[in-house]
Structure 1
């Protein structure tokens, strides 16, 4: 949510990996899913994402979004 709040409307934002609290893949996936929920609410547009299969589940590895509001 911090990435969303720190961004400006229209700005493209990549969720960070290395050197951030999102460095662990499961934490990154959780944060990316929060951004996806904001997209469902019409607050952001997910511009690009990369997903990988891990066993029976998928993890979001990269996510870029644009804040709409």
Structure 2
């Protein structure tokens, strides 16, 4: 969104335009950060799943060649 470059605009119209630009920028920044935070949350969840798998494997008793515990 761009401001109109019309010197005939009244002060209220200019103020409204500036307010619209600010609202637009806020919306875009909010969406950008929400997307970024969601991506980070997804990465954290995946790392937690991987960590849980590794932890579960390390708790199982180790077995030798013929299936006997070592």
> Shorter-chain TM-score category?
under 0.3
TM-score for the superposition, normalised by structure 2: 0.27
Q: Which has the higher helix share?
A: 2
Q: Which has the higher strand share?
A: 1
TM-score for the superposition, normalised by structure 1: 0.27
Higher relative contact order (CA 8 A, sep 6+): 1
Structure showing greater radius of gyration is: 2
